[in-house]
Amino acid sequence: MLLKSENLSVSYEKSSVLQDVHFQVEQGEFVAVIGENGAGKSTLLKAISGEITDYSGGITFDGNPLSDYSITALSKMRAVMSQSIHFQYGFTVEEVILFGRAPHDERRSKSLRVIREMMSILNICHLQGKLITELSGGERQRVFLAKSLAQIWDYDGLYGKLLLLDEPTSALDLKHQKEALFEIKQLTNAGLGVICITHDMNLVTAFADKALMLANGHGMAFGPTRTVMNEANILQCFGVKTKVVNIEGIAHPVVVNAA
Partner 1 sequence: MSHASTHSEPNLNKQSSIGLFEKLDEQQQRVRALYWFGSLFTLIIGAIAISVGSYGVDFSLPMKLLSNVFQTEAPAQSETGILFIGQELRLPRVVMTMIVGAVLSMCGAAMQGLFRNPMADPSLLGISGGAAVAAAAVIVFGGGIFTTWVGAAYVLPSAAFAGSLLSMLMIVRMGYRKGYLSIVTLLLAGIAMNALASTGLGYLSFIADDSSLRLITYWTMGSFGGASWQVVMALLPFCLLSTILIYRQREALNLLLMGESEARYLGINVKRVKNTLLLAVALGVGASVSATGMIAFVGLVVPHLVRKLVGPDYRTLLPGSALIGAILLTASDIVSRLIVAPAELPIGIVTSAIGAPFFLFLLLKRGSVQDAA
Q: Are 27 and 189 in contact (CB under 8 A)?
A: no
Q: Are 169 and 177 in contact (CB under 8 A)?
A: yes
With respect to partner 1, which residue has the nearer C-beta, 56 or 120?
Answer: 120
Nearest residue to 20 via CA among 6, 32, 36: 6
CA-based torsion, 160, 200, 85, 90: positive or negative: positive
With respect to partner 1, which residue has the nearer C-beta, 27 or 233?
Answer: 27
Judged by the rule CB under 8 A, the positions of this chain that interact with partner 1 are 49-51, 71-72, 74-76, 79-80, 82, 85-92, 94-95, 99-100, 102-103, 112, 116-117, 119-123, 125-126, 128-129, 151, 157, 183, 186-187, 189-190
C-alpha span between 208 and 224 (Å, rounded) = 8
With respect to partner 1, which residue has the nearer C-beta, 88 or 246?
Answer: 88
C-alpha span between 101 and 229 (Å, rounded) = 37
User: Please, what is the minimum distance in Å from the beta carbon of residue 169 to partner 1?
Assistant: 18
C-alpha span between 38 and 34 (Å, rounded) = 11
User: Please, what is the minimum distance in Å from the beta carbon of residue 39 to partner 1?
Assistant: 20
User: Please, what is the minimum distance in Å from the beta carbon of residue 214 to partner 1?
Assistant: 21
User: Please, what is the minimum distance in Å from the beta carbon of residue 242 to partner 1?
Assistant: 33
With respect to partner 1, which residue has the nearer C-beta, 57 or 103?
Answer: 103
